[in-house]
Amino acid sequence: VPGERVCVLGDRRELGAWGMPQGRRAAPLRLQTNSHLYPRWTMLHPIFFEMTEEEVRDGSFCVEYKYVVEAAGGLRWESSIGNRCIDLRCREPSVWFITDARWDAGGGALEGPGPV
C-alpha cells in the first residue's frame, strides 16, 4: 500500500530488540520494493549479528523476528503467526539469505551460507 514501509524487527539488538529504532538506526531494518518487484520486498544491506561467547562456543544461535508494516498510524505487526525463528550456525565470515514467502504466514526458508 502506498505510504507504508515494511520492516523486520526481532529479539536481537541488531533487529531493534522488538522496538523500532529511531533515525538512521531504523534504515537498515526497512525492506525495499519497486514497481518491478512488488509484492516482493528485499533488504538492500546485510545485518551483521554480534555473537556472544556462549553462542560461539555452542556453534549456533537463534534469531526470532517478525515483519512489521510502518504506517502513519504506527506499527502493524504480523499477528496470525508466532515469532519467526531461524537457527544460524556460527561461521566466519558468511552471509545467510532468509526468504519468507508471505506476510503473516509461515513457510519461510533459510538459504546459505553464501560467499561473502
Helix (H, G, I), strand (E, B) or coil at 87: strand
Q: What is the mean pLDDT of residues 3-25?
A: 85
Q: What is the tens place of the pLDDT at every residue in 27-40? A: 778 898 888 888 88
Cβ contacts of 30 within 8 Å, gap of 6 or more:
5, 6, 7, 70
Cell numbers placing 15: 533487529
Q: To the nearest whole number, what is the mean pLDDT of the chain?
A: 83
Q: What are the domain boundaries of the chain?
A: 5-114
Per-residue confidence (pLDDT) for residue 113, from 0 to 100: 60
Q: The pTM is what?
A: 0.83
- pLDDT band at residue 25 using 50, 70 and 90 as cut-offs: low
**Domain 5-114 falls under CATH 2.30.30:** no
